[in-house]
C-alpha cells in the first residue's frame, strides 16, 4: 500500500500540521484493528448510496469491489500496519480505495462523517467482542460444570471470614461460580441490546441532507434498529462503559476464583494441585511450584476496573456532540476485552487439569467445630430457642473445642438438660444432607442445580450461535447481488 497523506480533509489550512501534533493525533496503532468493521460498514453505506441514486450505481459497484480488494490486501498482510503516518484506519482504507478505483472512491464519504463512521465501526466491533466474551464465559462455565460433576461426592469446609464455617459439597462450591458467570452473561446480553443500534446516517451531528435508507444499512449490517437522535448517536459511548463494567465484574469473579485456587494449592491447605503446565518454578528455590497463572488472572483484574474509571472521567465533561477526547475510548477497552477472553480461557484450562486431593479435604472436614451449627440446630428441633441453643453450643466450643462426642451425659447436662438425653449423630455427610432446601448444599439439591445449570448453559450457547449468524462479514456484503 502506497504512502498516503496524513489527512484527507486538510484544505482549510494553509499550514501543515506539526509533526509532533501528527504523532499525538494519530490513532492507527489502536484503531487499526477496526479495519474489518470499517470496510464492512463502508460497503453497506456504498450499496445504500447507489441504491438510492445518491451516487451513480456504477460508482457504487466500483467502490464495493475496491473495498473488497482493500480487505483482501489487508488480510494477506496480516492486518494494517501500525504506521502512525496514517491518521487512522479510516484514512488508510479510503486512500487505498481511491488508489484502486480513482475518483469514484471519493464518493464513498457522501452523507457520512468520521463521527458517525467511527461510532458505527466501534459498535460493530463491540457486538463481535460481546459474542466472543459470552463464548469465553460459556467455556469457563463448561469447565466448572464438569468439575461439579466429577467432584460431586467430595466435601470440604465452607468458609466465612476465611475461617472454617460449615461443610459443603465441593460441587456446590463450583456451582457458585457458575451462578456468578450466569449473571455475567446476563450483563453482556443486556449490553448487546444497547450496542445493537446503527448510528450511521447521523452525519457529523445533525443528520444528512440526502434521502438515506438507514433501515437498509441496518439490515445489511445486522443492527436491529437505527439511532433516534443524531447528536446523541455520534457522541454516545455508554455502550463502551456498560461493556467495561461487565468486564470489570467478570474480572472480579475471576480474581475471586483465582484467589481460592492460589490459597487451596498452598501447603497450608493442599486441597488442590495445579497441573505442571499451569504453574511455574522459582529462580532460586528448586522446590517451589507457584500458581503464577492464577496469580496473573488475579492481578489483571485491575485493568478493566481502571479502564472503566478512565473512560467515565473522559466522558463526564464532554459537551454535545463529538469531541476528540472520544478517540481515547478504545485502547483500554480493547485491552480489557482481550484480557477478559484470555483470563476466562486460561482459568477454564486450569480447572480442567486441576487435581483435587480428597485426603486433604477429608482431613479438613474432620474438624468437629464445623458441626457446631448442626448441634445448635439439633437443640432447636428439640424446642430450645435458637439463641439459647447458640449460646449453649458456644459455651461447649469454648470449653471443649468441639469435642462433643467425647463428653459424658453428666458433662453435657451442665450445658443443657436436652443434651443429656443423648447426642445426635453428627458428621459432615449428615450435615450436608440436612440442608435439603432449594439452593442448599444437599446432594439432591446440588444434582437439581447441576441439571438446571446445564440446561441454561445449552440455551445460552444456542442463543449465542443465533446471534453470531446476524453479524456481517466483508465477503458476504461484497458478494450480495445488486
- Cα 432 from chain centre: 33
Band the pLDDT of 377: cuts 50, 70, 90. very high
Q: What is the pLDDT of residue 6?
A: 46
- In terms of Cα–Cα distance, which of 225, 49, 1 is closest to 123? 225
Angle of helix 114-150 relative to helix 331-353, nearest 10 degrees, comes to: 10
The three-state secondary structure class of 283 is coil
Q: What are the structural domains, with CATH classification, of the chain?
A: 19-110 (1.10.275.10), 115-364+449-476 (1.20.200.10), 366-434 (1.10.40.30)
Please give the grid coordinates belonging to residue 298.
Answer: 488475579
Average pLDDT value for residue range 51-61: 98
Which of 282, 366, 409, 473 is labelled catalytic? 282
Please give the grid coordinates belonging to residue 479.
Answer: 458478494
Grid-cell match 441490546, residue found: 193
| Plot region of 191 (φ>0 → left; ψ -120 to 50 → alpha; else → beta) | alpha
Q: What is the pLDDT of residue 65?
A: 98
In sequence order, what are the beta bridge partners of 158?
A: 166
CA distances from 457 to 146, 330, 449 (A): 12, 31, 12
**Rounded-to-integer distance, Cα 26 and Cα 89, Å:** 10
Average pLDDT value for residue range 32-43: 98
Which of 20, 103, 161, 425 is labelled catalytic? 161
Active site residue 161: yes
Q: Are strands 197-198 and 155-160 parallel, antiparallel or unpaired?
A: unpaired
Active site residue 42: no
Q: What is the pLDDT of residues 61-91, one digit of tens each?
A: 999 999 999 999 999 999 998 875 788 999 9
The three-state secondary structure class of 285 is coil
Q: To the nearest whole number, what is the mean pLDDT of the chain?
A: 94
Q: What is the pLDDT of residue 9?
A: 57
Amino acid at each position: 500500500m502506497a504512502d498516503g497523506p496524513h489527512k484527507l480533509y486538510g484544505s482549510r489550512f494553509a499550514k501543515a500540521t506539526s509533526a509532533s501534533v501528527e504523532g499525538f493525533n494519530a490513532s492507527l496503532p489502536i484503531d487499526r484493528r477496526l479495519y474489518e468493521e470499517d470496510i464492512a460498514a463502508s460497503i453497506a453505506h456504498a450499496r445504500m448510496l447507489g441504491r438510492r441514486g445518491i451516487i451513480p450505481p456504477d460508482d457504487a459497484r466500483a467502490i464495493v469491489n475496491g473495498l473488497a480488494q482493500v480487505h483482501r490486501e489487508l488480510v494477506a498482510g496480516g492486518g494494517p500496519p501500525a504506521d502512525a503516518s496514517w491518521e487512522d484506519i479510516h484514512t488508510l482504507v479510503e486512500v487505498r480505495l481511491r488508489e484502486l478505483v480513482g475518483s469514484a472512491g471519493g464518493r464513498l464519504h457522501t452523507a457520512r462523517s468520521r463521527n458517525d463512521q467511527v461510532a458505527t465501526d466501534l459498535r460493530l466491533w463491540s457486538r463481535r467482542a460481546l459474542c466472543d466474551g459470552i463464548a469465553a464465559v460459556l467455556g469457563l462455565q463448561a469447565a466448572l460444570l464438569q468439575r461439579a460433576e466429577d467432584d460431586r461426592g467430595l466435601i470440604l469446609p465452607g468458609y466465612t471470614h476465611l475461617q472454617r464455617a460449615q461443610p459443603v459439597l465441593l460441587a456446590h462450591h463450583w456451582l457458585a461460580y457458575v451462578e456468578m458467570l450466569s449473571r455475567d452473561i446476563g450483563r453482556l446480553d443486556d449490553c448487546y441490546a444497547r450496542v445493537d443500534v446503527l448510528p450511521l446516517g447521523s452525519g457529523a451531528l445533525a443528520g444528512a441532507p440526502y434521502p438515506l435508507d438507514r433501515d437498509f444499512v441496518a439490515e445489511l449490517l445486522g443492527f436491529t434498529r437505527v439511532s433516534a437522535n443524531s447528536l446523541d448517536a455520534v457522541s454516545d459511548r455508554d455502550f463502551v462503559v456498560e461493556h467495561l463494567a461487565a468486564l470489570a465484574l467478570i474480572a472480579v469473579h475471576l480474581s475471586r476464583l483465582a484467589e481460592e485456587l492460589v490459597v487451596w494449592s498452598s501447603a497450608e491447605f493442599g486441597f488442590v494441585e495445579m497441573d505442571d503446565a499451569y504453574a511455574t518454578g522459582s529462580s532460586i528455590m528448586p522446590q517451589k511450584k507457584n500458581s503464577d497463572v492464577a496469580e496473573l488472572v488475579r492481578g489483571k483484574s485491575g485493568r478493566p476496573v481502571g479502564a472503566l474509571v478512565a473512560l467515565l472521567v473522559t466522558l463526564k465533561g464532554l459537551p454535545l456532540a463529538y469531541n476528540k477526547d472520544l478517540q481515547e475510548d478504545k485502547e483500554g477497552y480493547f485491552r480489557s476485552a482481550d484480557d477478559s477472553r484470555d483470563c476466562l480461557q486460561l482459568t477454564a484450562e486450569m480447572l480442567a487439569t486441576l487435581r483435587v486431593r480428597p485426603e486433604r479435604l477429608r482431613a479438613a472436614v474432620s474438624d468437629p467445630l464445623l458441626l457446631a451449627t448442626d448441634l445448635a440446630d439439633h437443640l432447636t428441633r428439640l424446642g430450645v430457642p435458637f439463641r439459647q441453643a447458640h449460646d449453649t453450643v458456644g459455651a461447649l466450643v469454648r470449653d471443649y473445642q468441639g469435642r462433643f462426642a467425647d463428653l459424658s451425659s453428666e458433662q453435657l447436662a451442665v450445658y443443657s438438660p436436652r443434651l443429656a438425653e443423648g447426642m445426635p449423630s453428627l458428621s459432615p455427610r449428615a450435615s450436608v444432607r440436612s440442608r435439603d432446601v432449594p439452593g442448599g448444599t444437599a446432594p439432591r439439591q446440588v444434582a437439581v442445580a447441576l441439571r438446571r445449570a446445564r440446561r441454561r448453559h445449552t440455551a445460552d450457547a444456542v442463543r449465542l450461535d443465533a446471534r453470531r449468524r446476524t453479524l456481517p462479514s466483508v465477503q458476504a456484503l461484497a458478494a450480495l447481488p445488486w
